[in-house]
Structure 1
Amino acid sequence: MRMSKITIRKKDYFRPKRRFKHHEEEAEAAEKSIEESEMDESEIDEPAAKDREVIGDTSVAVREPVVEETIVHEVPLVTEQPDVDDEDIIPHKNEHSKFSWLYLIPAVLFGIALMMLVNLFMDQPEKRADKPAERPVTETLTKTEQAVKDTRSHVVSVVNMQKVNNLLNESAVPTEVGIGSGVIYKLTDKDAYIVTNFHVIKDAASIQVTLADHNKVAAQVVGGDMWTDLAVIKVPKGSISSYVKFADSDKIIVGQTAIAIGSPLSQTFAGSVSQGIISGLNRSVPVDLDADGIYDWESNVIQTDAAINPGNSGGALVNDKGELVGINAMKISLDNVEGISFAIPSNDVKKITALLEKEHHIVRPELGLKADDITSLQFEAVKAQLGLPADMTTGIIITTIEPGSAAEAAGLKTKDIITQLNGKKIDSMVQFRKELYYDHQPGDTLDLTVFSQGHTKHMKVTLK
């Protein structure tokens, strides 16, 4: 097998920018090179005489100004054209080609990320469809939502702890006997003051308060009043930083928003919120304070249809500004009655809490008697026996006179009937007590119209 030389000029060499398109051209060049290799070796090695000149003993080629380089490859001459390898024809690679693979990395990474994203959406279509739309963080809260947000942390749970005998060791152990709610309405440097219902803390051996952050602290009683059903307790201020603001209950109107916040039934439902409207103003609701079946008091309250349940007592009734309009106190619980609940007006709450902070109890005048409505006299015979006029249908009849009392000093006797107080007609014992407690102070003198032993007379009584 004969070997021959191949000469390739550098100026004629051109490397295609895209290698995968140049294979056909390179094959043709290789075939041409093989044909040239069959030429006479003297023609390849010796340039034509016309292209050379002799300088001394040296023959120099002068025709070709272009610098060329002879690259020798030994190519076997065979009858069949061998497969042309790119590396056999191209003597060297472009110096930048070794870095070309780096440009593929971003494309590969992008492709992987795109495939992962597609798979994520393809694999979980149901989860995306079932997921509820979330409210944008920047969306403005409604007035009700803002009121609840501003007020909810001011409402606490109030637990009445009483000593109950333990059957195992017969020792008195403080036990939870009732739960209600309370409202933080005042802060000092050391204490947080909470208003609640009197019946929530009545007869408590100790009181436990659960704050909005679920911390439980012991509370101290500041004062209470059975008749208005209000009490004030206090706890260490700790991390408490704000309190509820009072609204003017004289300016509320029927139909405005009412939001009740409290702990219905148990601490499990602490911070529960219900919404309604103000249903009525200045309602007079009779109250049986001693559970003897006889009404003892007449509460002046606000009516609302916001849901109030046991445990809501002492909680907040607020408007859509988050201001306190009342303290939830009671509801009508009958099978055929729904949505009638009552709250003590905020103006009354503000006045009573100030008195309880200062005096610890409400100082009320004492008359020193017990009486019943004359409507309780069921039989005409009894009325006739007392000699009551036929047109007398309202008033109170005295059943007991306490020794040393203002009533005894004024000369009042049992079976006397009081029909007027300072010229105002008396319809019931509840009204009489309310007139006495709200409008008068110890030391005041009352003008009573009394029917006694068949005669009507006026009597002066100085309250103690």
Structure 2
Amino acid sequence: MKRMLTIFAVFSLALMCGYKLGKESAHKSVKSNPPTPSLFSDSVVARTETPSWQKAFANIAKRAEPAVVHIRAVRVVADPFEQLLHEFFGEPLPRREGIGSGFIFRNDGYILTNFHVIEGARNIRIGLHDKTELTATTVGADPWLDLAVLKVNTNKLLPTLEFGDSDAVEVGDWAIAIGNPFGLGQTVTIGFINAKEREFESVEGRRSVHSYIQTSALINPGNSGGPLLDLNGRVIGINTFIYNPAGERFGIGIGFAIPINTVKALLDRLMRGGIVEHAYLGVVVESADKPEVARYGIKPREGALILKVHPQSPAANAGIQAGDIIIRFNGKPIHSGINLIREVWIAEPYSEAVIELLRNEQLLKIKVRLGRAQM
């Protein structure tokens, strides 16, 4: 009995010591690790701030939006029978209204957009950011490169966007698109530069010679002609078309923009008025980096392989031959066949060009007097 009482006393003493040590440990733990505040506590709300990058996007949108315009292009769409009714009986011709976007690049009312936005339009109306609506005229257009300059007359100076440098853009950079999708009104979307120098033989039935910027900033019908901006709020491209493998007319995050450096190279000619004329070289080309060029006994490499030279063309007169690989045009590297066509078309008709090419692995430099393309 005495032995059992001794064991019970020791056990009780251990329990009391354990309780005291646990209480002190818990007390210290509370002091050193305060409880996490509730999501709704004042301390959390007080520490919540808008991230600086989020403010940057908002500031760019505020600065850029006043210079972005909405475009309504009214076209007459009539079949031969409707045309006869109009001519003999004065019946009104059916009209179709297209929508698009653009941006002001000169404060006296000059606007850049895509040619397909205003193609065939009888009347072009421009909606400004302040809800003013003005009639526009077409100053100059380039159907092949899908560019147009419009002009509105106004007594006030208009806000403008600055041109950036599309060559300096890198894959992974942020991109901001502003436009008028589906005619809903001004809309801002944000994404990345996903790729550069995307090339297509044709775009929506048109032959394409552009090297496009690909972006995930969402573009939809109505965005065409609007600006693609960098984080400085400068224009790096003109949003032009979307890719949707299902054939649907809405964006899925794969959009393409004409690089602004291509636009800058043509802007003087667009401002002269009328339809832009292009230079002519007189060759049929293929990209030299494709595996099938091996059948010509050539190792695939970057450049434009000459498949055919048209007789009495500028190329023929300069001594360019089938099998030559053009690697530079006026000092610019040539990466593909489309790349060469684009550089030729950007050049002034009748200007002199310097072409560097490989012939039997020998580097040659040839001067060519370009002609004028028959459009």
Classify the TM-score, shorter chain. 0.5 to 0.7
Residue 421 to residue 252, structure 1, CA distance change in 2 (3 Å) = closer
State the AA in 2 paired with 1:182: G
| 1:332 and 2:249 are equivalent in the alignment | no
SS at match of 1:297: coil
Could you tell me which residue of structure 2 aligns to residue 463 of structure 1? 370
Could you tell me which residue of structure 2 aligns to residue 203 of structure 1? 120
Residue 205 to residue 396, structure 1, CA distance change in 2 (3 Å) = farther
Q: Which of 182, 190, 200 lines up with 1:275 in the alignment? A: 190
Partners of 1:253 and 1:283 in 2: CA distance:
11
Root mean square deviation of aligned Cα: 4.3
Superposed counterparts of 1:342-353, under 5 Å: 342-353=256-267
Query: For 1:182-212, what per-residue CA distance to the aligned partner results, in whole angstroms no more than 9, with x for missing partners?
Result: 1112122xxx111111222233344232333
| 1:182 and 2:88 are equivalent in the alignment | no
Deviation of residue 243 (structure 1)?
Answer: 2.0
Query: For 1:227-265, what per-residue CA distance to the aligned partner results, in whole angstroms no more than 9, with x for missing partners?
Result: 543221111124563222334445555555432211112
TM-score, with structure 2 as normaliser: 0.63
Deviation of residue 289 (structure 1)?
Answer: 5.3
State the AA in 1 paired with 2:325: T
Could you tell me which residue of structure 2 aligns to residue 259 of structure 1? 176
| 1:217 and 2:134 are equivalent in the alignment | yes
* Unpaired stretches in structure 2, ≥5 consecutive residues: 1-51
State the AA in 2 paired with 1:209: I
Could you tell me which residue of structure 2 aligns to residue 436 of structure 1? 344
Using CA pairs under 8 Å that are at least 6 residues apart, name the structure with larger relative contact order, 1 or 2. Answer: 2
Partners of 2:94 and 2:290 in 1: CA distance:
42
Could you tell me which residue of structure 2 aligns to residue 397 of structure 1? 307
Superposed counterparts of 1:277-356, under 5 Å: 278-280=192-194, 282-288=196-202, 291=205, 296-301=208-213, 303-320=214-231, 322-335=233-246, 338-356=252-270
Could you tell me which residue of structure 2 aligns to residue 152 of structure 1? 65
State the AA in 1 paired with 2:188: V
State the AA in 1 paired with 2:353: D
Deviation of residue 148 (structure 1)?
Answer: 2.2
Could you tell me which residue of structure 2 aligns to residue 161 of structure 1? 74
**Contact kept? 1:327, 1:345, Cα under 8 Å:** yes
Could you tell me which residue of structure 1 aligns to residue 153 of structure 2? 236
TM-score, with structure 1 as normaliser: 0.53
Residue 439 to residue 450, structure 1, CA distance change in 2 (3 Å) = farther
Q: Which moved more, 1:436-445 or 1:142-151?
A: 436-445
Count of residues in correspondence between the two structures: 302
Q: Which of 168, 173, 195 lines up with 2:93 in the alignment? A: 173
Deviation of residue 401 (structure 1)?
Answer: 2.9
Could you tell me which residue of structure 2 aligns to residue 419 of structure 1? 325
Deviation of residue 222 (structure 1)?
Answer: 1.3
Identity of aligned residues (%): 30
Query: For 1:54-94, what per-residue CA distance to the aligned partner results, in whole angstroms no more than 9, with x for missing partners?
Result: xxxxxxxxxxxxxxxxxxxxxxxxxxxxxxxxxxxxxxxxx
Deviation of residue 397 (structure 1)?
Answer: 1.8
Partners of 1:310 and 1:367 in 2: CA distance:
35
* Unpaired stretches in structure 1, ≥5 consecutive residues: 1-139, 452-456
Query: For 1:403-453, what per-residue CA distance to the aligned partner results, in whole angstroms no more than 9, with x for missing partners?
Result: x5324545778xx444335699977531331343457862335466579xx
**Contact kept? 1:222, 1:234, Cα under 8 Å:** yes
Structure of larger gyration radius: 1
Residue 417 to residue 183, structure 1, CA distance change in 2 (3 Å) = same
**Contact kept? 1:396, 1:426, Cα under 8 Å:** no
Deviation of residue 313 (structure 1)?
Answer: 0.8
